[in-house]
Structure 1
Amino acid sequence: MDIQDKTVIGWREWVRMPALGQAEIKAKIDTGARTSALHAYFVEPFELDGRPWVRFGLHPRQKDTEVQIECEAPVIDQRRVTDSGGHAEMRYVIATTMVLGDQAFDAEVTLTDRENMLFRMLLGRGALKPRFLVDSDQSFLLGGSKFQPPGELNLS
């Protein structure tokens, strides 16, 4: 894919994951992270048809624990992930479809407790390539604003 064919995104964008309850989540674009990370406030492994799955809760909005979505997904891996502070943990990895603007694509996502983090999701470079370029001086180039996902009505 040539550079002119790539979509330019800002350092934060709204991401929708149709298989995980259609929630729109404000994500920080993190080109330093290989894999994307999603906030999960509980993670329960189980088996379905002899395959490993995981059930987890998702709080899609920053600083909001009222909105809760319970999700289930097949586990594709478990990986040791080291965060930017140097702390390592084993995480479940799922694959899900993500939608950014008008592009839908599959990406790997690790599940971790991000309750005390500013963003409930980090979008890593594995999800970004080969389709996006990041303008680190911009935000929400694909729509929405700091407080509203794209398409959500402003009733105030």
Structure 2
Amino acid sequence: MTKKQPEVIGWREWLGLPDLGIPAIKAKVDTGARTSALHAYYVTPFDKDGKPWVRFGLHPLQKDSLTCIECEEPVKDVRRVTDSGGHSEQRVVIDTTLLINGISMTIEVTLTDRENMRFRMLLGRSALKQGFWVDSGKSFLLGGNKNQPAMATL
């Protein structure tokens, strides 16, 4: 039996989050972040059938606060996360499906306000260990460019 070779991706790539209604979102691939992070401009916890859920709003496109997607998902966990600047905050964690280059997998994502960041999503190393290597000198190895996803790769 041969082991499948890891997929090589660039430091930024277009991804899909189909469970959240996001066909394409530009993400920074961040080996320094353990868990992936997604921009949510509001996060509201609530109970559904006695279980913790979260309602949140997304602006999936950079520099576009008019395109909004509202989601409801079960809460997997709440964790204290420290960012690269040393700031610590409690974040809701959800599981969602990641679609990248035709590969579908479940990943953990924390919800946080990334309004002032260059990327609406960080793809962390816990997702990357499912079969990806990062070429930090390249971008969009799976297709597309900084302004346009290659929809065939999602």
Question: Which TM-score band (shorter chain)?
Answer: over 0.9
Mapped partners of 1:151, 1:125: distance in 2: 24
Q: Post-superposition, which runs of at least 4 consecutive aligned residues in structure 1 deviate over 3 A?
A: none
Please name the residue that 1:74 is paired with.
Answer: 74
> 2:106 maps to what in 1?
106
Give the SS at the match of 1:78.
Answer: strand
Matched, 1:50 2:50: yes
Q: Give the C-alpha shift of residue 79 in structure 1.
A: 0.2
State the shift of 1:142 in Å.
1.0
> Amino acid of the residue matched to residue 60 of structure 1?
P
Alignment of 1:1-156 (within 5 A): 2=3, 5-151=5-151
TM-score normalised by L of structure 2 = 0.94
Using the TM superposition, give the Cα deviation of residue 84 of structure 1 relative to its aligned residue in structure 2, in angstroms.
0.3
Q: For 1:90 and 1:22, locate their aligned partners in 2 and report how far apart those are by CA, in whole Å.
A: 24
Deviation at 1:102, TM superposition (A): 1.3
Show CA shifts across 1:78-110 (max 9, x none). Answer: 000000000000000000000111111000000
- Stretches of structure 1 that go unaligned for 5 or more consecutive residues are none
Give distance in 1, aligned partners of 2:149 and 2:71.
Answer: 20
Write the distance in 1 (CA, Å) between the matches of 2:66 and 2:80: 30
Q: Residues of 1 paired with 2:143 and 2:20: CA distance?
A: 21
* CA deviation profile, 1:9-35 (whole Å, cap 9, x unmatched): 000001111110134110000001000
Unaligned runs of 5+ in 2: none
Contact 1:23 1:60 in 2 (8 A): no
Equivalent pairs counted in the alignment come to 151
1:27–1:123 contact (8 Å) kept in structure 2: yes
Aligned partner of residue 19 in structure 1, secondary structure: helix
* Percentage of identical aligned residues: 65
RMSD (Å) for aligned C-alpha atoms: 1.3
Specify the code of the residue in structure 2 equivalent to 1:151: M
Q: Measure the CA separation in 1 of the matches of 2:42 and 2:23.
A: 17
